[in-house]
Amino acid sequence: MNDRQRLKDILLEKSYRKGTFTLSSGRESDFYIDVKQTSLDAEGALLCGKQIFELITRHPEEIGAVGGMTLGADPLVTAASIASFLDGKNPIPAFIVRKEAKGHGTGQFLEGQKNMAAGCKVTLLEDVVTSGGTLIQVIDRVEAQGFKVVQIITVVDREEGGAEVLAERGFALEAIFTRTQLLAG
């Protein structure tokens, strides 16, 4: 079994649930994908990091950092950064985007900037994409700090309009799995 198939199995076992759920977008859904249950599992985190890093290495531009909105992206950015370090060629630092500006000290939205080259090109990560609203907010915050978003990766694209919203802003969404791929036999 390859890493991608094993990750799919773990996602279906730990992260996928049927029922009635209210999503962060406010929409109702008859299923829920809680990727954190997979990305906070040791094997699941490793597999997420490896799959994300593989997509990063395929990008034509050099990626200077990988980050995303807390909390869903936190284990993913760490896993991807560690996977890049283990590759041994060009370690990619991680950063976290806060939901609210830090209420003390520097008052910043981005954590980890000291590890990033000024104006570098970045990959944004999200655990699950539904409407794309969170990613639009993250893009705006990251670019306001002078960094250039050149790649966006999600573990699961629910295929509910998020990719189209991002495309309207000029960004392509890369998914390790679409909902269709995840649920396919």
Query: Is 101 within a domain?
Result: yes
Q: What single letter denotes the amino acid at residue 111?
A: E
Taking the mean position of all CA atoms in its chain, how far away is CA 177?
Answer: 12
Helices and strands, number each (H, E), in the chain: 7, 8
| pLDDT the model gives residue 105 | 67
| pLDDT the model gives residue 108 | 86
Q: pLDDT of the chain along its 185 residues, tens only?
A: 899 999 999 999 999 999 999 988 788 999 999 999 999 999 999 999 999 999 999 999 999 999 999 999 999 999 999 999 999 999 999 999 999 887 766 768 999 999 999 999 999 999 999 999 999 999 999 999 999 999 999 999 999 999 999 999 999 999 999 999 999 97
CA distance 54 to 162: 22
- For the record, the structure tokens of 58 come out as 């395929």
Query: Is 34 within a domain?
Result: no
Query: Is 169 within a domain?
Result: yes
Secondary structure class of 126 (helix, strand, coil): strand
Q: In terms of residue numbers, what domain contains 84?
A: 49-183
CA distance 120 to 71: 23
Query: Is 8 within a domain?
Result: no
Q: Where are the beta strands (DSSP E) in the chain?
A: 16-22, 28-33, 65-69, 94-97, 110-111, 121-129, 148-157, 173-178
Query: Is 73 within a domain?
Result: yes
Query: In 3D, which of 137, 133, 122, 176 has the Cα closest to residue 153?
Result: 176
Note the pTM of the prediction, 2 decimals.
Answer: 0.96
Phi and psi (nearest 5°) for 11? -60, -45
CATH number at residue 119: 3.40.50.2020
Cα R_g (the chain), whole angstroms: 16
Query: Is 5 within a domain?
Result: no
pLDDT in tens, 129-173: 999 999 999 999 999 999 999 999 999 999 999 999 999 999 999
Query: Is 23 within a domain?
Result: no
Domains of the chain: total: 1
Query: Is 42 within a domain?
Result: no
